[in-house]
Amino acid sequence: MKFIVSTSQLLKQLQIVGGVISSNTVLPILEDFLFDIQDGKLTIFATDLENSMSTTLDVEAKTNGRIAIPAKILIETLKTLAEQPLTFNIDEKTFGVELTSDNGKYKLTGENASDYPKIPSPEGVSTLELATSVLTFGISKTLFAVSNDDLRPAMTGVYFNLSEEGLTFVSTDAHKLVRYKRKDAKSDTNTSFIVPKKALNLLKNALPNDDSKAIVRYNQSNAFFEFNNVNLICRLIDAKYPDYNAVIPLDNQNKLTIGRYDFQNSLRRISIFSNKTTHQVVLSIKGSEVTVSAQDLDFSNEAKETIPCSYDGENMEIGFNAKFLVEMLNVLNTDEIVLQLSSPTKAGIIVPATGDDNDDLLMLVMPVMLNT
Binning pLDDT at 50, 70 and 90, where does residue 371 land? Answer: low
How far is 156 from 171, CA to CA, in rounded Å? Answer: 8
For the chain, what is the radius of gyration of the CA atoms?
A: 25
Residues 322 and 270 in one domain: yes
Picking from 90, 115, 140, the residue at the C-terminal end of a domain is 115
Give the CB-side neighbour count of residue 236, counting CA atoms within 13 A: 18
Residues 174 and 202 in one domain: yes
Over residues 161-185, the pLDDT tens digits come to 999 889 999 999 999 999 999 988 8
How far is 220 from 80, CA to CA, in rounded Å? Answer: 43
pLDDT beyond 80 at 272:
yes
Q: 100 lies in which domain range?
A: 2-115
Residues 358 and 267 in one domain: yes
Position 133: which residue type?
S
30: DSSP letter: G
Of 71, 60, 59, give the one whose Cα is nearest residue 116: 71
How far is 46 from 111, CA to CA, in rounded Å? Answer: 14
Handedness of CA 320, 326, 331, 337 (dihedral sign): positive
User: Left (φ > 0), alpha (ψ -120 to 50) or beta: where does 253 sit?
Assistant: alpha
Is 230 part of any domain?
Answer: yes
Residues 138 and 105 in one domain: no
Picking from 68, 85, 115, the residue at the C-terminal end of a domain is 115
pLDDT beyond 80 at 55:
yes
Q: What is the pLDDT of residue 148?
A: 94
What's the mean pLDDT when you consider all of the chain?
94
Is residue 280 within 8 A of residue 321, CB to CB? The reply is yes
101: DSSP letter: -
pLDDT beyond 60 at 372:
no
The percentage of the chain sitting over the pLDDT mark of 70, rounded to a whole number, equals 99
Residues 70 and 144 in one domain: no
Helix axes 197-206, 132-142, angle to 10 degrees: 130
Is 164 part of any domain?
Answer: yes
Is 121 part of any domain?
Answer: no
Residues 218 and 320 in one domain: no
Over residues 197-245, the pLDDT tens digits come to 999 999 999 999 888 999 999 999 999 999 999 999 999 999 999 999 9
Q: Provide the domain count of the chain.
A: 3
Is 96 part of any domain?
Answer: yes
Residues 361 and 254 in one domain: yes
Binning pLDDT at 50, 70 and 90, where does residue 355 land? Answer: confident
What are the two backbone dihedrals, phi and then psi, of residue 54, each rounded to the nearest 5 degrees?
Answer: -145, 155
Binning pLDDT at 50, 70 and 90, where does residue 188 land? Answer: confident
Residues 6+ apart with CB under 8 A from 236: 157, 193, 194, 195, 196, 218, 220, 221, 222, 223
How far is 59 from 5, CA to CA, in rounded Å? Answer: 5
> What value does the mean pLDDT take over residues 251-276?
95
Is residue 159 within 8 A of residue 194, CB to CB? The reply is yes
pLDDT beyond 60 at 311:
yes
Kindly state the helix (H) or strand (E) to which residue 269 belongs, with its residue range: helix 260-271
Give me the CATH number covering residue 133. 3.10.150.10
Residues 189 and 267 in one domain: no
Helix axes 260-271, 322-331, angle to 10 degrees: 150
Q: What is the pLDDT of residue 227?
A: 95
Over residues 71-93, the pLDDT tens digits come to 999 999 999 999 999 999 999 99
Picking from 214, 244, 274, the residue at the C-terminal end of a domain is 244
Q: What is the pLDDT of residue 335?
A: 95
Residues 110 and 130 in one domain: no
Is 370 part of any domain?
Answer: no
Is residue 279 within 8 A of residue 268, CB to CB? The reply is no
Residues 6+ apart with CB under 8 A from 54: 17, 43, 44, 45, 46, 119, 230, 231
Residues 211 and 317 in one domain: no
